[in-house]
């Protein structure tokens, strides 16, 4: 901590510089050297249960055996506590013509309009289209977070790309748990083992449960599937409606939120609305949920093959920023 004497002396030095005076120590009996020590310490008034972007609470970033030394998160590689905030992820559908340039133009809009990140998805394009954009981003980093989604639910291909392109910070999976009609279920243990095999500990998973276009088999239990979907602390559960652009029912969002809050015996888990967010419902839905994935709302007439419209993004983000 700076004492008053040091503070006053620093003010004198600054004043000399501002007045363009030379600091001539040759005629003074002492040469004064001043240093400032910045020390990060635990703040007991901040709130122990506030959640960091890494998914762990504030107090876990300090060592209780070393007088609460600021040691970084004890459960992951996070060193700086950053309070969790609500996030908007913009979708890149990779449609033509000129898929590559169109994707770069859409990314620029998302960067300039203040989105948290974007998702490269082979919705209209191919895996090669995803890779082409990732190759560009390797040498031309985005200013926001980069994510991928390889359809249909190709989680191992996503893991491989995350290992190759280390700047990818999250992946989206259509579903991360549950049994669905005419769909191969995900083995939870296999999924966790694959994560460790690829060594992509830094990557967050945005995993769907009972998602759009998938019908749970008879006898499925939502609570069981949601809790099974929490494969690690950095998993975010995604809730959707019936399809792309279709509004996610508010009662379904509340149901997911209630299960996560009351039944998950771990750290706080983010709930992401994965479809149907608009300027008209974003404030209501994200008062309950922690973020959203937005795609067709940013396109003229909701057509996913169209170019992202900056004005539509701006109107949406203006409403999003009104959330308290």
Residues in the chain: 324
Task: Quickly state the pLDDT bin for 30 (edges 50, 70, 90).
Answer: confident
**What's the CATH superfamily of 87-320?**
Aldolase class I (3.20.20.70)
The per-residue pLDDT of the chain, averaged, comes to: 89
Q: Is the pTM of this model over 0.95?
A: no
Which 8-state DSSP code applies to residue 3? -
CB-based contact 210:178 (threshold 8 Å): yes
Per-residue pLDDT at 266 exceeds 50: no
Q: What is the pLDDT of residues 58-100, one digit of tens each?
A: 988 999 888 898 998 877 778 888 887 899 999 999 999 999 9
Q: Say what the pLDDT of residue 20 is.
A: 54
Q: Say what the pLDDT of residue 127 is.
A: 98
Q: What is the pLDDT of residues 107-144, one digit of tens each?
A: 999 999 999 999 999 999 999 999 999 999 999 999 99
Q: What is the pLDDT of residues 185-239, one digit of tens each?
A: 888 888 888 988 999 988 999 999 999 999 999 999 999 999 999 887 668 999 9
CB-based contact 164:202 (threshold 8 Å): no
**Average pLDDT of the segment spanning 41-56:** 84
Cα torsion angle, 271, 272, 278, 283, sign: positive
Q: Say what the pLDDT of residue 22 is.
A: 55
Task: Quickly state the pLDDT bin for 12 (edges 50, 70, 90).
Answer: confident
Q: Say what the pLDDT of residue 1 is.
A: 54
Q: What percent of the chain stands above pLDDT 90?
A: 64
Q: Say what the pLDDT of residue 37 is.
A: 76
Q: What percent of the chain stands above pLDDT 70?
A: 90
Burial of 120 per CB tally in 10 Å (0-12, 13-18, 19+) = buried
Residue 196 CA to residue 24 CA, distance in Å, equals: 60
CB atoms within 10 A of CB 83: 11
Q: Say what the pLDDT of residue 83 is.
A: 85
* Domain boundaries defined on the chain: 34-84, 87-320
Backbone angles phi, psi at 207, to 5 degrees: -110, 130
Burial of 3 per CB tally in 10 Å (0-12, 13-18, 19+) = exposed
Q: Say what the pLDDT of residue 122 is.
A: 98
């Amino acid at each position: 901590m700076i004492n008053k004497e040091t503070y006053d002396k620093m003010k004198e030095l600054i004043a000399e510089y501002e007045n363009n005076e030379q600091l001539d120590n040759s005629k003074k009996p002492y040469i004064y050297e001043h240093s400032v020590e910045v020390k990060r310490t635990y703040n007991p008034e901040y709130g122990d249960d506030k959640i960091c972007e890494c998914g762990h609470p504030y107090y876990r970033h300090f060592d209780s055996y070393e007088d609460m030394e600021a040691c970084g998160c004890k459960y992951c590689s996070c060193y700086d506590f950053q309070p969790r905030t609500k996030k908007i992820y913009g979708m890149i559908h990779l449609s033509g013509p000129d898929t590559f340039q169109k994707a770069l133009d859409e990314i620029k809009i998302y960067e300039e309009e203040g989105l948290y990140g974007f998702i490269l998805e082979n919705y209209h394009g191919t895996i090669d289209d995803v890779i082409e954009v990732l190759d560009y981003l390797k040498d031309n980093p985005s200013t926001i977070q980069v994510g991928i989604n390889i359809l249909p639910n190709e989680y191992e291909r996503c893991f491989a790309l995350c290992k190759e392109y280390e700047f990818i910070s999250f992946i989206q999976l259509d579903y991360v748990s549950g049994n669905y009609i005419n769909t191969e279920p995900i083995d939870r243990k296999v999924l966790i083992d694959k994560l460790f095999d690829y060594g992509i500990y830094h990557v967050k998973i945005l995993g769907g449960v009972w998602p759009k276009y998938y019908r749970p088999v008879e006898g499925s239990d939502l609570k069981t599937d949601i809790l099974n979907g929490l494969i690690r602390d950095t998993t975010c559960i995604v809730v959707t409606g019936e399809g792309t652009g279709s509004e996610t029912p508010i009662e379904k969002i509340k149901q997911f939120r209630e299960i996560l809050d009351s039944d998950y015996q771990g750290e706080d888990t983010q709930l992401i609305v994965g479809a149907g967010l608009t300027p008209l419902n974003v404030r209501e839905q994200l008062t309950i949920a922690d973020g959203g994935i937005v795609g067709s709302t940013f396109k003229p007439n909701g057509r996913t093959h169209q170019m992202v419209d900056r004005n539509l993004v701006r109107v949406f983000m203006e409403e999003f920023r009104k959330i308290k």
